[in-house]
Amino acid sequence: MPVKVLPPEIVSLIAAGEVIESPASVLKELLENALDAGADSINIDVKKAGKELIRINDNGSGMSEEDLQMSVLRHATSKITSYEDLHRLSSYGFRGEALYSVFAVSRLKISSWNGKSGAGTILTGEGGDLSGLKLSPAPPVKGSTVEICDLFFNTPVRMKFLKKDASLKASLIRVVEDFALARPQTSFAFKLDGREIFNFPGGRDAGAVLDFRVRKILAGKTSEKLIKLSSERDGIKFSALISDPVNLIASRTSQYTFVNGRSVENRILQQAVYKAYEHLRNGRHPAWIIFLETPGDRVDVNIHPQKREIKFSDENFVFEFVHRTVSEGLLKKQSPPSLSAGNTAPSSATQGAAVPDLDFVSEKSNNLSTYNQEDFLDHVYKNEDAPLWHNPPITFVGQLFDSLLLFQTRKSLLLVDQHAAVERIMFEKYAEDFNKNMIQVQALLLPVSVEMSPAQAENILRWKDWLKKAGFEINRSGPGAVTVYSTPSVFYFTPDALSDFLSYLSEILGNPDKVPEELKRDSIATLACKKSIKARDKITKDSALKIIEDLKDCADSLHCPHGRPTILELTLDELVRKFGRTSI
């Protein structure tokens, strides 16, 4: 096949695909343009997850008729004039591709006035067709209004592969959150399908405005006990709000990183912070809002089509600087570890588990009803499929440290972690009921409203139908709130536990349509039974015998759902040897 030069319309669509991958990409590019134009008040309206309409109205400098026509051409920009400008950028945009790329895959309308003529100008066009651009007069209102309609109307394949509306909405909300945190002096009003998501007034007191926005965006307990940090070295300034070690969260969704005011993803910064929390996390994650200011020639923002990733010229310095600053800030907040709680590093099984140590279930042991030991022994002797450790008769000796159960069998001593054992029992009970479509549901006497960020709410609502099947009935009760009306009766959740439960699900499980049913079930069950019986719970003799009986019948009686052991065994032969005897 001969080599050809692609026609302009194909080139424009390819270029648009590099910059515009979703409605959130469009919103990000348009907000960058508005801020680069000096706007301090921006109104955002989105319909149908951005596929039908994205409208940005700003009070920035506006454009003349000539500039307006130039703005939709490829590589037309007012931000740079030479290669050297790339190393001293003070604007968000610089390539001149944003409007060109958006125009190529949408129906576009821009109304703008720069205050220097008697009237503004309206430009309309679609599909990147420069010959079809039309101009008309506009009212003399300072600033610009950009309307993007029918996104991807001319690229049906791109439309087909877009994520579901709930996911697109969550991404749109995250974009607005990023800019609202990065630019506290700017007012942002955001409506999604006519529903107000954010209305953030700007202000000169950036610190007070930022604190207000952090409380609104992070929501609930996540925004509490944040540690303020600041440091400066060799021309680089670092400031941050990070989680107190006692207030870590279930997922990574509340992590916002800004370099020179630009929201970015950067593994060096992420690793530096996680390294500081290394011995404090226990499977959980810090929330953070990080601002790093560095000279333009020490960071490259031109390595990613959407300018999402950056590269520092001296990554080792940045890592060490950020890690030390965060570590020193955390050190001031740490208390000596409690000997009663223990300070053992997680085992390899724990580290490999996908689920963090979450307080999902409060103290409740109603399911451990009294059990007659005589009936228990009769049943045991008849069970031919019992595990090797089960050698009746079995006697409950007692409870050690309020958390370990000691049993004597015919051949050994068994030491059972009551928390791990009940986790395994509840896990298999829930999984069995789920597979049989026989989950018993308990309606909450008082429905629990769970506060979370609007983006998290959109994410968790993607799971609404499946969660109902799993025994959890939820519904939206606000832009950043979800109300829980029922839960499986095998579990008991505190309000705080439900908040962690839902926020972690929104992160760990992703798109419900792409997750195997068994993984969804097991993840829910594992999370929910994590704290079914807490260490230090007193337990009766009959309840202890009920645990060992139920554990015997589990498919895997030796491990909790996270991989930790449930039983340690010391055989009679080992005891005899340790005491230097031949028999007892």
β-bridge partners, 487:
442
Phi first, then psi: give them for residue 289, nearest 5 degrees.
Answer: -130, 110
pTM over 0.85: no
How far apart are the C-alpha atoms of 504 and 523, rounded to whole Å? 10
User: pLDDT in tens for each of the 584 residues of the chain?
Assistant: 666 665 666 655 555 555 688 999 999 999 999 999 999 999 999 999 999 999 999 999 999 999 999 888 877 666 555 555 555 566 676 555 778 889 999 999 999 999 998 899 999 999 999 999 999 999 999 999 999 999 999 988 888 889 999 999 999 999 999 999 999 999 999 999 999 999 999 988 988 999 999 999 987 778 888 999 999 999 999 999 999 988 888 888 899 999 999 999 899 999 999 988 887 787 889 999 999 999 988 888 876 666 678 889 888 889 989 999 998 888 777 644 333 334 343 333 333 333 333 333 333 333 333 334 444 344 434 444 678 888 899 999 999 988 899 999 988 899 999 888 988 898 889 888 988 889 999 998 889 888 888 888 888 888 899 899 989 999 999 888 889 999 998 887 777 777 777 777 766 656 777 666 766 777 777 777 764 445 456 788 999 999 999 999 988 888 888 777 889 988 888 888 888 887 77
| Alpha-carbon radius of gyration of the chain | 30
- Identify the helix (H) or strand (E) that includes residue 179: helix 165-182
How far apart are the C-alpha atoms of 284 and 355, rounded to whole Å? 9
Structure tokens at 509: 């499980």
pLDDT at 12: 58
Compute the C-alpha angle 222/250/520, nearest 5°. Answer: 140
Max CA pair span of the chain = 108
Phi first, then psi: give them for residue 459, nearest 5 degrees.
Answer: -65, -50
H runs (alpha helix) in 474-571: 495-508, 517-528, 541-552
How far apart are the C-alpha atoms of 417 and 394, rounded to whole Å? 17
How buried is residue 407: exposed, middle or buried, by Cβ count under 10 Å (0-12/13-18/19+)? buried
Kindly list the structural domains of the chain, giving each domain's residue range(s) and its CATH number in brackets, ordered by start: 8-200 (3.30.565.10), 219-331 (3.30.230.10), 373-570 (3.30.1370.100)
Q: Tally Cβ neighbours within 10 Å of residue 455.
A: 23
Q: Locate tokens 């290394």: which residue?
A: 278
pLDDT at 278: 80
Start-to-end C-alpha separation, the chain? 88
pLDDT at 146: 97
Strand bridging mode 288-293 / 255-259: parallel
SS3 category, 416? strand
Q: Tally Cβ neighbours within 10 Å of residue 367.
A: 18
**Cβ–Cβ under 8 Å, residues 504 and 496:** no
Q: DSSP secondary structure string, 222-284?
A: GGTTEEEEEEEETTEEEEEEEE-GGG-BSSSTTEEEEETTEE-B-HHHHHHHHHHTTTT-TT-
How far apart are the C-alpha atoms of 266 and 44, rounded to whole Å? 28
> How far is CA 572 from its chain centroid?
50
Structure tokens at 142: 């300072």
349 to 561, 563, 564: CA distances (angstroms): 10, 5, 6
Structure tokens at 62: 């506006």
Q: Locate tokens 């051949």: which residue?
A: 411
pLDDT at 305: 63
Q: Is the dihedral of CA 63, 66, 69, 74 positive or negative?
A: negative
pLDDT at 23: 96
Which amino acid, 441?
A: V
pLDDT at 431: 87
β-bridge partners, 488:
441
Structure tokens at 389: 């450790």
Strand bridging mode 41-47 / 187-192: parallel
**Cβ–Cβ under 8 Å, residues 83 and 99:** no
pLDDT at 335: 46
SS3 category, 296? helix
Which amino acid, 371?
A: Y
